[in-house]
Amino acid sequence: EPSLLDEYCRDCDFVFNLAGVNRPKNDEEFMEGNFGFASILLDTLKRYNNICPIMLSSSIQATMMGRYAGSEYGKSKLAGEKLFLDYADETGAKVLIYRFPNLFGKWCRPNYNSAVATFCHNIANDLPVQVNDRSTELELLYIDDLVDEMIDALSGHEHHCEFDGMDAVGDENGRYCHVPTTHKATLGEIVDLLHSFRDQPSTLIIPEIPNNSLAKKLYSTYLSYLPKEKTIFPLKMNIDERGSFTELLKTDKCGQFSVNISKPGITKGQHWHHSKWEFFIVVSGHGLIQERKIGTDEIIEFEVSGKKIEAVHMLPGYTHNIINLSDTEDLVTVMWANESFDPNHPDTFFEEV
């Protein structure tokens, strides 16, 4: 709406130019959409003598290097950049040019312009994925990191850079701007990670997701494509006359979580471990935990209740049990072990407390 553009260009304190054409019917539309609109925008700002800061959403394809050499999209983005740089020279306005790499994040449209979105959608919905070359490397920018940088830019704390080929190198006096946090990964690595996320309901394994890692951001992205029926999945309950035991979650390096339900009056455990250790956390009911150091009569006891939730260490070398003291209520205990159970090396030895 031209009149609305006029109004905003007259009154605004900052401009985010995120508009662009990336999937036109013919190549001419690249220049028309990516260069043409930028011209109109800048001309309108000039008409109102508004020299507020303006941010341009460009693309790494504007480097015209590597697989982007000859890109019509890149040419249109590069032309837009030049237009903005000339505008800055002419008016003195602050211009922030961002050459974004591949963006990803929740709700991005699959089968459009993001391989990550397509992979997430297809794998979450049990559809095949096509990877022509697993070794192809992408530079990935997570949407939350992009938004953080846009807020920094709005407050005058943008991050400047220059380009060494296709790599942004931080430089306080750089002509360009960048988001400092991006991730590089091959198509093969991305697809393998997504398959591990898909398999989690059957393996129970939560892959490592360190803070600020690609895996953490990719997992959040993948979950946004889950169909409703996959949002819930069953867990294998091992049920007998004493109650039940259910493995909940496993990790590669930090053990596993389980939940144990004991019927009234039931004693469970009566075993010890050499190196394995656990936390017992009663979340409902009333129980007694006993631990005895192997080879001694030394017993330590802890009365526990869901009314006062506490974590109790099961010490290596101490045989231990847990007794439901209630005549009517189940005893519900969340358990963490420092390693996932390995039937070939159970490190579990029966002995009554």
CA distance 317 to 343: 19
Helix (H) or strand (E) holding 197: helix 187-198
Bridge partners (DSSP) of residue 186 are: 137
Cβ–Cβ under 8 Å, residues 40 and 1: no
Catalytic residue, chosen from 68, 73, 225, 318, is: 73
Length of the chain, in residues: 353
Closest alpha carbon to 222 in 249, 250, 201, 196? 196
Helix (H) or strand (E) holding 299: strand 299-305
Q: Which residues of 88-120 are buried (b: 16+ CB within 10 A; e: fewer)?
A: beebebebbbbbbbbbbbbebebeeebbbbbbb
Write phi, then psi, for 282 (nearest 5 degrees): -75, 125
**Tokens 């400047």 correspond to what residue?**
160
Rg (CA), the chain: 29
Closest alpha carbon to 131 in 204, 40, 195? 195
73 is catalytic: yes
Closest alpha carbon to 77 in 33, 113, 15, 115? 33
Closest alpha carbon to 334 in 300, 297, 309? 309
Neighbouring CB atoms inside 10 A of 228's CB total 6
Catalytic residues: 73
